[in-house]
Chains A and B, each alone.
Chain A
Amino acid sequence: MKCTVVGKRVERKDARAKVTGETIYPSDRSREGMLWVVAVRAAHPHARILSIDTERAAAAAGVVRVLTARDVPGENAFGIQFHDMPVLCSDRVRYLGDVVALVGAESRRAARQAAALVAVDYQPLALLTDPEQALDPATPALHPGGNILHEVHFHKGNISVGFQKSAVIVERSYQLPMMDHAFLETEAGLSYFDENDVLCVESCGQYIYRDRKQIASVLGLAEEKIRVSAEMVGGAFGGKDDITVQIQLALMTYVTGRPAKMVASREESIVAHSKRHPASMWFKTGASKSGKLMAVEARFLSDTGAYASLGGPVLNLMAEHAAGPYLVPHVKVDGHVVYTNNGFSGAFRGFGCTQACVGIESQMDLMARALRRDPLAFRQANVLHQGDAAGLGYEMKTAVGAEPTIRAARAGKLYRQRRRIKKDRTHVSPSLAPFIRRGVGVASQMQGLGLGVGIEDQAEVEVVLGPGGAVRVKVGTTEIGQGAYTAYAQMTAERLGVPLEQVEIVGADTGTCPDSGATTASRTTYAVGNAILLAIAKLEQRRSAWAAQGTGRENLSARANFTVPTQDRQLGDGLPHLLYSYGTHVVLVEVNTLTGEISVEAVEAYLDGGRVVSPLGFEGQSEGGIAQGIGYTLFEEVLLDRGRFLNTNFDTYILPSSKDVPTAIHTVPIEVMEKSGPLGAKGISETCTVGVAPAILNALEDAIGIRFVRLPVRAEDVILAREESPHES
């Protein structure tokens, strides 16, 4: 199908307002008479609360109200999967982000000063910070069900037969860090009662309808009495999937009747919100002499911290993606995710695939090396095709683009010319040249799209045709920067045959928009896009019916609901998926062996998310995903010491800057059309970052002969590893 708007390098719908400063973000909102709300968070990572004295804080200048658990009218708990996080803790705190009181004051300064006056008497409890210790049934439990949140045990074939048939067996353990989303806008929002006595919360969440439901249950209010919006948000990456400030704001307004505003400081943000799950992984993999993958065995221990969040589903996706995009006859995966007092972890771009991919793609390289095979040829020879059985045994029923991404990567410049590029020292001074090593590494990945079996995954939208050809599309998903609103508008313009400028996206407000589901899981282009096309089909039917009657009508609207299809058989919560996006990354790294400094010099990304709707956004997401992958591999780790956070701002939690991400990023769309997708599209917002870390690790081994198994890899790690390495060169 030939498209005229879809696939064109169009301007983002929201770009103009963003370059002039007109866009209003949650932290920009304010209202006459509003209170500033500050959360009083736990002083200990694990303690019993003996008493909370708010008297001095309440009497402080400018303070209007101090709320504690007693002020929660409904259920004092919330959470995406289980309601296990207290809104306001009354008897126990389990991490430093737990909230014991909320101060509402006339100014932010007054609220902050009063927060320090809330006197909480704590009895510290034994800390649980070692995930291994959490597995021991003798360890005191952080939650009534024990310290194991969830476990998985899967097998396909017979793993010992698989290893018997293997000529090469590789076994390694991997350690992955806790990572912060570091969205540039911290958690923020505004709440107030409107003229109809509806409690409005204008905030930053990734799923407004789920936020509304949770606020309603905490306040004991009907959902219709609450309105939640989150149109433009300054980044999220999964970190705003869990409720952050929404309930706190709503509660303050509910109790005081006053508008209320919250903006987290960066320090508070890093302590309080979810993280990428830190994990230890063990992999044992085998391949035959002829280079056929025979066996993948993996064990995972993931640390979800103090609360469940999405720790279970993240572990499930680690298991689902443990064997990578490969055909493997014998697979065994076992995993646990446990509670500790180490902050808490949840959704983060990649959602378990990121972690699993570090393991399997490191193993693939090690096996290729042992077999003396070309790393991409080895992957290509074992890659999954449509109709094959995936790692956990179910059939790959939809379009599988893994092989075309590998083929394209093999033909790409960086890979083809890697021997020459590795030797190139023309860019460094002659005195430095002897200390420079270069290496090229690859990784391939797949990433489940949508929420998977057993989790409701629908998108409803409304398309309104107005006077003069204007089209409004009402969607419930949030524009968190990914550019989805532009993609929605392009698909709408394409299907209706109207200019893109005539399409307006009205976003993310439960007062005006239908429930389009969560802004997560690489799902929105696919799910919302399909719903838009269904709504347009309805409109066109009606339009032709009226035309047949000889009557015309403007102001026509239609709603449609699309359900993301799933596999038939459920293997776990959200497990498995029917649809995946794919990718292969090729990375050039350079190591200065004198200083240990690592730089990523070039990246080629071959990505299959079906048809590319918005090339500018596609490339931008890929580049941003690569930058996050570089951060995960070389810089970023939230450090905790006995449950206390050590690096809570950007002076110590180091993000990649413009000097750390290469100019030479080449993103190539591999458009394997997905029949069930809107105009053949799926999505790439996660697959574009998943393979970056192992590709860098593989490039490092190619450069200096050292296999790193712990992230992040820093200059000092290079120096230490080279000192210990018997092959030091």
Chain B
Amino acid sequence: MKIDLSFTLNGSPINTSVAVDRRLVDLLRDELDLTGTKIGCEEGECGACTVLVDGQAVNSCLFPAPEVDGKHVITIEGLGESDNRLSELQQAFVDQGGIQCGFCSPGMILSARALLNENPNPSQDEIREALGGNLCRCTGYVQIVDSIQTAAARENSDD
């Protein structure tokens, strides 16, 4: 059974219909061709599929697609600046080495975005707590935490 769905994706309106049991991650990757959102475990443990729904970080592998109706969804593809520049947060990951294989990065960056939206000046511990649901097998997290602290400092100085 399919149902109609209207939501905002990375700032643009989307009108589509999806099967009622479709997961948000499949809608994004398979139907809307946004492969920046990754799949790592399909049970909400690794966070590779993290996207923002109305500003909250959610695991899109556990999130029913029909539930984004009327909501705002942000994926990694929607995080850059309008003129093709990286956002401060993305740039900080580039500068501080927060990227290795990069497969956890989209989810990691979106979890960081949700944190910084709530708490523009998080401590080390608060960052590590907020990333608790995002696994990275390459970096050991140190440069990821550095990246987020750097982004926070830059964003605060821009204000």
Contacts and interface: CB of A to CB of B under 8 A. Distances in A.
Interface of A: 11-12, 14-16, 18-25, 27-28, 181-186, 232-235, 237, 263, 265-266, 480-483, 616-617, 619-628, 649-651, 655, 657-659, 661, 663, 665
B101 A481 contact: yes
Given A649-B43, A658-B145, A182 B137 contact: yes
Contacts of B36: 20-22
Q: Which bucket holds chain B's interface residue count? A: 35 or more
Given A184-B38, A184-B40, A11 B45 contact: no
11 contacts: A11-B95, A12-B94, A19-B76, A19-B102, A19-B109, A25-B38, A27-B39, A184-B40, A234-B102, A624-B137, A658-B136
In this complex, the member of A12, A15, A265, A659 whose beta carbon has the largest number of chain B beta carbons within 10 angstroms is A15
A230 to B, nearest CB: 12
A620 B143 contact: yes
A184 B135 contact: yes
Contacts of B86: 16, 19-20
Contact of B142 (A22, A623, A650, A659): A623
Contacts of A617: 97
Interface string B128-154: 110111111111111111000000000
A235 B101 contact: yes
Contacts of B127: 658
- Dominant secondary structure at the A interface: loop
Contacts of A24: 35
Contacts of A185: 38, 40, 101, 103
B35 A28 contact: yes
A231 to B, nearest CB: 12
Contacts of A186: 40
Contact of A266 (B38, B42, B139): B42
B37 interface: yes
Nearest to A27: B39
Nearest to B135: A655
A657 B99 contact: no
Contacts of B103: 25, 183-185, 234-235, 481
Given A15-B93, A16-B86, A21-B106, A659 B128 contact: yes
B54 interface: no
B122 to A, nearest CB: 12
Contacts of A624: 100, 136-140
Interface string B58-94: 0000000000000000011101100000100011011
B105 interface: yes
A659 B132 CA distance: 6
A625 B140 contact: yes
A232 B102 CA distance: 9
Contacts of B38: 25, 27, 184-185, 234
A658 B144 contact: yes
Interface in B26-46: 29, 34-43, 45-46
Contacts of B139: 620, 623-624, 627
